[in-house]
Structure 1
Amino acid sequence: MTEELFLKTKKHLMKYNEAKQYKKEALEKADESVLQNYHIVITPANTDDSTKYIEDFVKKPDSFTDESCKKYTSQDDYEVVSFKKDED
């Protein structure tokens, strides 16, 4: 059980093109409630860079594209993350 939990929470670092494909597959598999209630985005793998990206993203999500994450890091490691949309 502990090993299974570890595998589910383990970070999976990807290059940008891998992350883009992973996001595409995640969107195809997600049910409608997930799509309506959660953002699914590509973020820099670096925690500080990712935090800054998400803080800026939530202010104006429509102004961001998948490639926007590249402006927030000098590295080429990314993750696909999901987080709840604001209930405005």
Structure 2
Amino acid sequence: MKYTEALEYKKEAVKKADESVIQNYHIIITPADTGESAKYVEDFSKNPDQFNDSSCKQYSSTDDYEVVSFRKEPED
């Protein structure tokens, strides 16, 4: 989906998510390409606070995105 569609999809997903999901999972927009998505998630996981929704655009070679969720790493 295009970036603007992914942004709307993410907003809806966050709005509908249970509080425990919000606390324990990242819900982010990533490039749809598997390799680009993996690199983005890897970099995002190192320091999530340095990323925002549009950060994924820097990792994408196309205007094709998806919304993914994955478990947050426990804080030290």
| TM tier, smaller | over 0.9
- 1:45 Cα deviation from its structure 2 partner: 0.2
Residue 47 of structure 2 corresponds to which residue in structure 1? 60
Question: 60, 68, 80: which is aligned to 2:67?
Answer: 80
Who wins on radius of gyration, i.e. which is larger? 1
TM-score by length of 1: 0.84
The answer as to 2:21 corresponding to 1:34 is: yes
Residue 56 of structure 2 corresponds to which residue in structure 1? 69
Residue 22 of structure 1 corresponds to which residue in structure 2? 9
CA distance in 1, matches of 2:35, 2:50: 21
Alignment: residue pair count: 75
- 1:87 Cα deviation from its structure 2 partner: 1.0
Q: CA RMSD in A?
A: 0.4
The 4+ residue runs of structure 1 with deviation greater than 2 A are none
Question: Unmatched 5+ residue regions in structure 2?
Answer: none
Question: Unmatched 5+ residue regions in structure 1?
Answer: 1-13
Identity %: 68
Residue 45 of structure 1 corresponds to which residue in structure 2? 32
CA distance in 2, matches of 1:63, 1:87: 18
TM-score by length of 2: 0.97
CA distance in 2, matches of 1:41, 1:73: 14
